[in-house]
Structure 1
Amino acid sequence: MQNEGSCTIDLHHHFFPCSSDKLKKNMEVGWRTPEGNLPWDPEISLACMDMVGIETAILSLPPNPSGAISSEDCDIARANNRFAAQICQKHSGRFGFFAGLPFLKNTTGVLDEISYALDELNADGIALTSSYGEGANAIYIGDDTYDQVWEELNRRHAVVFLHGAQTASSTPYPHPFLGIPITEVPNETFKAAAHLVVSGKKRKYPHVKIILAHMGGSTPFLAPRVAVLSKHMGCPLTHDEILEDFRSFYYETALSAHEATLAAMDKFVTPDRILFGTDFPGKHSIR
């Protein structure tokens, strides 16, 4: 989980196997990247990595806003993971990847893909989105519905990269300069992390190493609020147990590293829990 020696590993680095469709969806939620980063190919990433001194980037797909149980969803996940694995093989040592999964309620398809990705494609871990489904039908990943998935990840001592969903709130985002990736995604990460904590799933599956994207979004700052108030809502965990579970996540720095946030994290978790990420291609310009 830590960088070895002087090797810098970027744990938050997106790839786009189907650029046109994915880009269209991202534009709809107010998402832009530096000029020249898209359409994406590995050479664009390598140019940026060489420029800023990154030895290895761990690829993952941007979060999918929704899904459904279907053979097509399984086929798409399989194709994307094979695509990522081919990049890793072609550029040995420069890339790894977190495997994407089918719609999470498809337990059979998800377990098959976890096995294939970790055992056959040598994925470095699994990428999960904070919730699956849309609107009132969205289910956060700590729900009992997904226990079989967590049991398998726990059995494997898997690494999980948890990214907030690009889910709109009940009101529009406040300004074109403040799209959903800015205003909503960080809070979706917090809601998923908090759900795992108060539901007891974080300690029920202790062998899963969960990395929270974007330094956990609002997680470090709202964790004390959860510790104080959730007890009154019936959570069986104590104040200290809740904070202990929040501290057991890993936090990566993408779009969040500033002297103020890093100083706060230094007080919240031990240094080994803070990992490096860039959120490329949403950050850094190669021009």
Structure 2
Amino acid sequence: MAPLHTLVALSVGAAAASCYHIDTHLHALPPVYVDAINRHGGEIFGFPPPAWSINATLDWLDRTNSSLGFLSLSVPGPPIAGTGAEARDLARDINEFYGKETYTEVSNPAAKKRLGFFAALPDWRDVDGTIAEIDFLYKQQKLAHGVAVNTNYGDYLLGNPLFERIWARLDKYGALVFLHPSGLPGVQPPDVAFGVQPPIVDFPFATTRAATDIVLTGTLKRYTNVDVVLSHAGGTLPYLGDRILGFLSIPIVAQYANVTVPEIEQGLARFYHDFALSTSPGQLNGLIDFTDSSKFLWGSDWPHVSEQRIDYLKAQWYDFVSTNPRGRLVAPQVLRANGKELLARHEQKHKLIK
């Protein structure tokens, strides 16, 4: 039998094959960010930063039949520069770069029609600096479609009371949060699973912990105007969802809970899930069992994942669509419609969604 990636044209109907994707998990490496990486160690979780440019990004969209892409940083983002003025300046420089290259001073005119961005924020432990950058993004620049947020900052998960004012500010603006894994709190190389770098094993659990935390602490219940996208199909959340719900059946646990079972169900149902690195039948079936298909989005994770690997993952997804009885629920047309609805709701001055 031919390799799966050679069967894409055979395994997908014509309508699916011709559907233009919206890539919501598309990373950028602005020069100012690469300079910061090089000043602070030169690697991200053991991997050197890949080559990147706006033109290469547009070529990637063409290669993957994507009409739109939304740029964001992979981890660690501005926190690589600490929690002070340097990280604040780095976040601002990155966001101004995004704004110029996608809207105000584009070096390639196609970028204005095809690229948006999820803005960078300082380390959330710098609460005032983070709030100041959110205000800049929503009161002054008004170009970002959302903000990229790490799953934790140091050992602090996102539902920590320290971050309450940040959530309140995001809620004020009705922000879209693109949640990207940043490793497990307290677990850093070389103390990782089997010596494997965090993106391989730890990142899915980091996403799960962060998502569970903002549900169980009542953060999502308090801030109903915020939409949250979870990377990589929610990590292990679809697998563990029923287990999380069941914890309130333990009386000694329930008495300390900030939420009820219905509130947990409502919180878990609010998450959007991108398909980056998450297209196996087990992952797609688990996600279909876990949440409504209106919450599914496409994401490639380029350029931190090889083009060949992404080709395989897309072919795997298309094969599921064409052969699985529930494939219609994850069809490319469904994900495109979901992306349009979500991102149109969060547009500011930059109107990309047609």
TM-score normalized by the length of structure 1 = 0.86
* 1:80–1:97 CA distance, 2 compared to 1 (3 A): same
- 1:185 paired residue number: 203
Question: Pick from 192, 198, 201: which aligns with 1:173?
Answer: 192
Aligned to 1:63: 75
The CA deviation string for residues 253-281 of structure 1, in whole angstroms up to 9 with x for no partner, is 11112222112211211111111111111
Q: Provide the aligned length of Structure 1 versus Structure 2.
A: 274
* Equivalent position to 1:210, from 216, 228, 245: 228
Letter in 2 for 1:9: I
Q: Which runs of 5+ in 2 are unaligned?
A: 1-17, 312-354
SS of 1:39's partner is coil
Of 133, 151, 164, which residue of structure 2 is paired with 1:130?
151
Q: Render the CA deviation track for 1:18-71: whole Å, top value 9, x for unaligned.
A: 3365378584624478xxxx3211122211210110111111111227564312
For residues 224 and 140 of structure 1, what CA distance do their matches in structure 2 show?
A: 21
Q: What letter corresponds to residue 131 of structure 2 in structure 1? A: L
What is the letter of the counterpart of residue 63 of structure 1? V
Residue matched to 1:12: 25
Distance 1:161 1:26 in 2: 25
Residue 42 of structure 1: aligned partner = 54
Contact (CA 8 Å) 1:153, 1:208: kept in 2 or not?
yes
Flag structure 1 segments of 5+ consecutive residues without an equivalent: none
Secondary structure of the 1:92 match is helix
Tell whether 2:151 aligns with 1:151: no
* Residue identity opposite 2:64 in structure 1: V
Instruction: Confirm or deny: 8 A CA contact 1:11 1:57 kept in the other structure.
Output: yes
Is the 2:44–2:75 Cα contact (8 Å) retained in structure 1? no
In structure 2, the CA distance between the partners of 1:112 and 1:27, relative to structure 1 (3 Å rule), is: closer
Q: 2:131 aligns with which of 104, 108, 111?
A: 111
Q: Does 2:247 match 1:229? A: yes
Letter in 1 for 2:138: L
- Output one character per residue of 1:153-174: Cα deviation in whole Å (capped at 9) or x when no partner: 1111110001111346277334
Range moving further from structure 2, 87-96 or 277-286: 277-286
Q: Note if contact 2:217-2:259 (Cα within 8 Å) is conserved in structure 1.
A: no
Amino acid at match of 2:175: A
In the alignment, what sits opposite 2:45? 29
Q: Which residue of 2 aligns with 1:250?
A: 272
Q: Match of 2:72, as an amino acid?
A: S
* Greater CA drift, 100-109 or 14-23: 14-23
1:80 is matched with 94
- More divergent stretch after superposition (85-94 vs 61-70): 61-70
Distance in 1, matches of 2:135 and 2:228, equals 18
Between the aligned partners of 1:26 and 1:191, the Cα distance in structure 2 is 28
Q: After superposing the two structures, state which structure 1 stretch, 38-47 or 186-195, moved more.
A: 38-47
Matched, 1:51 2:79: no
What is the alpha-carbon distance in structure 2 between the residues aligned to residue 26 and residue 281 of structure 1? 17
C-alpha distance 148-26 of structure 1, shift in aligned 2 (>3 A): same
* Helix, strand or coil at the partner of 1:72: helix
Aligned equivalents of 2:138 and 2:128: distance in 1? Answer: 16
**1:147 aligned partner, one-letter code:** E
Deviation at 1:236, TM superposition (A): 4.2
Contact 1:253–1:277 (CA under 8 A) maintained in structure 2: yes
- Using the alignment, how far apart are the partners of 1:28 and 1:210 within structure 2? 24
- How far off its partner does 1:92 sit? 0.6
RMSD: 2.5
TM-score (norm 2): 0.71
Please tell me whether residue 266 in structure 1 is matched to residue 288 in structure 2.
yes
- Distance in 1 (CA, whole Å) between partners of 2:71 and 2:19 is 20
Determine if contact 1:227/1:238 at 8 Å carries over to the other structure.
Answer: no
Call closer, same or farther: CA 1:62–1:28 in 2, change over 3 Å. closer
Mapped contact 1:128–1:162 kept (Cα < 8 A): yes
SS in 1 for 2:25: strand
Percent identical among aligned pairs is 26
1:157 is paired with a residue whose SS is coil
Q: Distance in 2 between matches of 1:16 and 1:199?
A: 33
Q: Deviations over 1:1-29 (max 9, x none)?
A: xxxx9542111111112336537858462
State which of 112, 117, 127 in structure 2 corresponds to 1:92: 112
